[in-house]
Structure 1
């Protein structure tokens, strides 16, 4: 790299860092989401048991969210939500940097840097990095593990395979669907040694599989010591996930729910990267067989992940965040194409278009901070309709509005997500289904109550209130999020 290129690279890294940190840390205590209080309790329980040396009983819930608990433990006993989130966010920034480094080793400096820029501004990833939970950690560990598998395929260094296995364990211990990485990794090992089978090739495959398995198990025991101390009990705790509401709760979602997630919540840049990645995978002229094989690995993982999530009874947009994040790696391969051969007019136009999409994405993410969860692809927004979205963002604005009422501390409000509404409200908040009680002054209907099914209690409340004129509607990103009704 030339000296001038180094200066440009350093400047771009500084810009990426600033945008990434601002969009993830600014106003981190503005509102709380529906799961954050539960995860705060999990982290505190984990930290307490760790400090007491109770290493055999560190599992707090079946998800299991162990990496969240490690990363967030340092400030978990703070009274300030912004302080609580700092280490969790910073560790995820380190993971983004690690991913960029791995892809830089794999493809070159500029592909790695561009991937870092895409991840730093990816709306869905940024939104969930701000949340005190584990979905974004799962996504980042999945991409890092796949990048390391690709790097091992290129170098055949056992250390890269060990790191890929360790990162796979970290993904699984972030959230159990990370286990999708295991069959993908095994298949990748066989593909890496593809060719006429003989004794030597067979030994190489067995050695790689053994190393992958042992490294993964050892990493799992290091990340979660309970595995080493009480392995059967720990595995039993994890299987509880498949009997929990998080797995079995029906959301009345269509089989095409996750297609709509990509349609509405992936950015225009991410649409482009998905289409570009598929095109490059089949283009013999633009990428070498090795790199097309790497693209196939990333696409295989994403498709398999979405397919498995589709079979789950409970649906949520955040559940396929790993698939969208992994598909963003196509950005690095597109830059590789730009670096090959002459810089034709077609390449210049495509490059300018790609940069424009990245800048648009960055502006949108900064503009929406701290309400990045309200991001919807601008091109798809006109078709959003009453699609169910929202995890607590905007309830703070509803609370602020009602706090301005005379006698606000004496008001009693029935609200969707009453605990999250109570976080900023000076009066008393109760569950929305109690809206008909005589003592209730206001009903606050949140967008997450939409499309719960015709037989749901949420729909029953909406049916009763739809004839009333809301006193106030709260908008986020020009989308109606909260309807406030005065109850006489």
Structure 2
């Protein structure tokens, strides 16, 4: 009897711990991504996704299926989710054109944030099967709280969704081909449910953005390696599983992309244009190492990634390298690390070969970096466990959780303004890579509105006036020169000046000594506002 009661007590404790851990992870993953809403609007939201979503939803309602093809990205998942948010908002608030801008934007953003949070939670459960419970827990915690991942999950665009779907593809593929079972798994059939899920996730990833095509060779390699047999290699090639996986991709496209039902060839051709667009320079230029450039070159992504990572993630990656050199990682875990490294390396290579480069384009590798960092941090904790009475791993989890909470709270709502403090933070970032995606312009608008004539006189801006328009009560004029306009204020944004857009006019106003107000966030001067004379002399 006593033994039975003891067993039941242990079972209850184990269940309570599992439920508590899941609840905490859910809070870490969900709350930073949806509450409270981000105050500013990003370039892509204002210039593209708000209008595309409206057109997409109108096309669905009117049965004009070809019109659901809005862009080459193709951004289908982004539009489906944002449209879902709009429909929910309409059900709650009524006519959409009467809903305040901040409220409508929050409704359209929230579904993507929820998907990103669900990916973290699902990723945790899959990682538990692939690696140890502790690595899965810490890896999911880092995945949930990396500021760069949180920042992009809070806005309406493609990169966060691409990241979630690509990671789900990778993890389900590893489980489908029994990588978790090591050599013993080669003699067993795939896990068909996981294989179906991997195909669906690949379909959703490619429906989001063309860089997801990198998944095709990655999953192919996983499948071939899992079926490797030294004496019968050809016979062990998993043709049937890969065929089923491919069919699920096609099925997902047919379900979620109405335009392909009517004009399949034209729709696929447009997608191919998007895949090729990465080989071209940005139309308005880029910025790297203090210079306005077209293609920043192969050093761009290593530098940008280092600037975007948290110090504890960088520490974990460094410790992992030491652990690998010193043989501190088990053979079973090395197998999983091999495939994570394959995904990271292949995607980085694909992105580096293209001329069009931005830090957010490599967002899909950040969950992998979080998992790799977890390996290193836990190995380091084990190495010092004799000084910490065996509680080192719990201490690591607790410390990182506290640091992550503080970090996210400190940068809210401008998580995009986070840059690694170990490398100089925002001050160094502004001199090194392109900075600013709209953050700070909400504060610029508030400053202008608060002025006595803030609603009376036009405002000039050299590019992307739509970023400022929602936050001011007067006209915003697209103009790089203030000579010919009866403007009250001239606004210059950091990434415009980094690209030398409006730089000459900015220098002229500085030389005139006109009053200037600066929006300064976390070491970065994001916005410069000049108060112009009444006759613009």
Superposed pair shares fold, TM > 0.5: yes
Q: Distance in 1 between matches of 2:322 and 2:470?
A: 47
SS state of the match for residue 328, structure 1?
helix
Equivalence for 2:40:
31
Q: Deviations over 1:321-367 (max 9, x none)?
A: 11222222225545886999995448755764564344323211122
- Output aligned runs, 1:243-258, within 5 Å: 247-249=280-282, 250-251=285-286, 252=293, 253-255=295-297, 256-258=299-301
Q: Distance in 1 between matches of 2:273 and 2:337?
A: 35
Q: Deviations over 1:161-195 (max 9, x none)?
A: 22112212211111110111111111111111223
Q: Deviations over 1:272-299 (max 9, x none)?
A: 34334445556644222x4212212212
Equivalence for 2:138:
114
Q: Deviations over 1:121-164 (max 9, x none)?
A: 11011000111111101111111111112212326312222211
Q: CA deviation at 1:206?
A: 1.9
8 A Cα contact 1:111 1:331, kept in partner: no
CA RMSD of aligned residues (A): 2.9
- Output aligned runs, 1:420-439, within 5 Å: 420-431=467-478, 433-439=480-486
8 A Cα contact 1:71 1:91, kept in partner: no
Q: CA deviation at 1:53?
A: 3.5
- Output aligned runs, 1:74-473, within 5 Å: 74-76=84-86, 78=96, 79=99, 80-154=104-178, 156-198=190-232, 202-241=235-274, 247-249=280-282, 250-251=285-286, 252=293, 253-255=295-297, 256-279=299-322, 284-288=327-331, 290-331=332-373, 333=375, 344-345=386-387, 349=392, 352-353=395-396, 355-380=398-423, 381=425, 383-387=428-432, 388-415=434-461, 416-431=463-478, 433-452=480-499, 456-467=500-511, 468=513, 471-473=516-518
Q: Deviations over 1:3-42 (max 9, x none)?
A: 3343344334333333433322234252111111320222
Structure 1 residues 335 and 481 mapped into 2: Cα distance closer, same or farther (>3 Å)? closer
Q: Distance in 2 between matches of 1:365 and 1:484?
A: 28
- Count of matched residue pairs: 483
Unaligned runs of 5+ in 2: 1-9, 88-95, 179-184, 287-292
Q: Deviations over 1:418-468 (max 9, x none)?
A: 21111111122123524333412222121212432xxx4333334334434
TM-score (norm 1): 0.89
Q: Which deviates more, 298-307 or 396-405?
A: 298-307
Structure 1 residues 463 and 312 mapped into 2: Cα distance closer, same or farther (>3 Å)? farther
Q: Distance in 2 between matches of 1:149 and 1:344?
A: 38
8 A Cα contact 1:142 1:171, kept in partner: yes
SS state of the match for residue 32, structure 1?
coil
TM-score (norm 2): 0.82
8 A Cα contact 1:280 1:287, kept in partner: no
Q: Which deviates more, 112-121 or 231-240?
A: 112-121
Unaligned runs of 5+ in 1: none
Kindly indicate whether residue 54 of structure 2 is the aligned counterpart of residue 7 of structure 1.
Answer: no
